[in-house]
Structure 1
Amino acid sequence: MKSIHKKLMVVLTSFLLFICFISFLAFNHHKNTDNWGEVLDSRETNTVSGSSETPTAPPPTEPSKETTEKEETPKTVTIMIDVKGAVVHPGVYTISNTSRVVDAIDIAGGLQKDADSAKLNLAEHLADEMVIYVPKKGEELPDEFSSGTVSPSASSPTANTTSSSSTTSTLVHLNSATEADIETIPGIGPAKAKAILDYREQNGPFKTIEDLGNVSGIGDKTIERLKPYLDLN
């Protein structure tokens, strides 16, 4: 009887030890699983926080073709020009500011048969209040029309009025005038004024105003235009 009781105690003790061992293993496995989950969570957190600290910049946007074309295209407006000289229909015309001298001549009916277009810059851009003068063959252009056109500032009423008042009130004395005096005559610039003085110094006083025709660059039509502003004193 005692031996049976002793065997039962051994079996019971062994069972209890087995239960304790199984519980110990289960506890350690659960603890390791929790620790590993915390490691994974911490890694994910670091990854997310790291990516938020260095945001990716959006790619640069290129200007659209339509915007570029708008910036490069000049604004078109209507201007007024004055076409004079050897054209079919001289007069004042309205035209686009993107046009050129050749376009202005076209709207004025084109060139006359005796027009000298070689003295014009047909490709010149037009400007508001511009004066275009087309000379005839053999005709000499006034100094202000060196290229066949006069800019708005040079052809403004203020400029013309000042020039006219200074020359019509006092005649320029051809045989005693200085270069500055001669330049006050409308249509006479520094080059022609110097040519007149050089001729006077080399050949003596002018005997008639028509003697100006002996000066290089001055023709009969120019002389007729200058007569109202000159005398021989």
Structure 2
Amino acid sequence: MVSVTAKQKTVIVVLFAIVFLGVSTYWLLGRNESPVIITQSDLNLGQQNNSTQQNSPLEHERSNVGLNNNQVEQIYVHVKGAVTNPGVYRLHQGQRVVDAVEAAGGVLPMGNLDLINLAEKLQDGQEVIIFTSEEDRNQWLMNAPAGGQHNNSMGQHTNKININTATKEELQKLTGIGPSKAEAIIRYRETNGRFSKVEDLTNVSGIGSKTLESFKDQVSVN
């Protein structure tokens, strides 16, 4: 018969105690953990979240713009004509005509974008009109009340060209203004913002006081 010393008995008791404590602890902790159950509804919710994240470029742009509502001055622009959803839209100072057109759902197939400057910076209260043809635009301008602000060419007086909104083709109708000077006017306008007075045209490269005098009565700034 194998004899066990008192010291060996002590070691055996300690080992059994350690094993017992380990098993008890594992069992108690395991009871406190609830199983994670993934249901079909959870999977469907994940699919819905993925689909909502796949926004169109315009929706993504609008959501990004919304983050800066408190940082950028808001403006209101009236978009009408050949667009998907005509109406008044709240945009932000510094945005351009193309942003207003996109906010209105884009241009309809019959809309003529050659009749408007999409790169022009928007102003509060501005009216953006997408015409279907030059004849349509000219007819509208003839019937428009004096004093209205129009995005597409004419300003306060329908017989004057608005240098803040005119296209390259419209600017070339002015005395002494050819393609290069018309482009210079638009480039200056896009870089520096709206002209506050007609005399500011002398700041445009290639247009001096003498040139301005030849068409000064043909233009306006609003």
TM-score (norm 1): 0.31
Larger gyration radius, structure 1 or structure 2: 1
Normalization by structure 2: what TM-score? 0.32
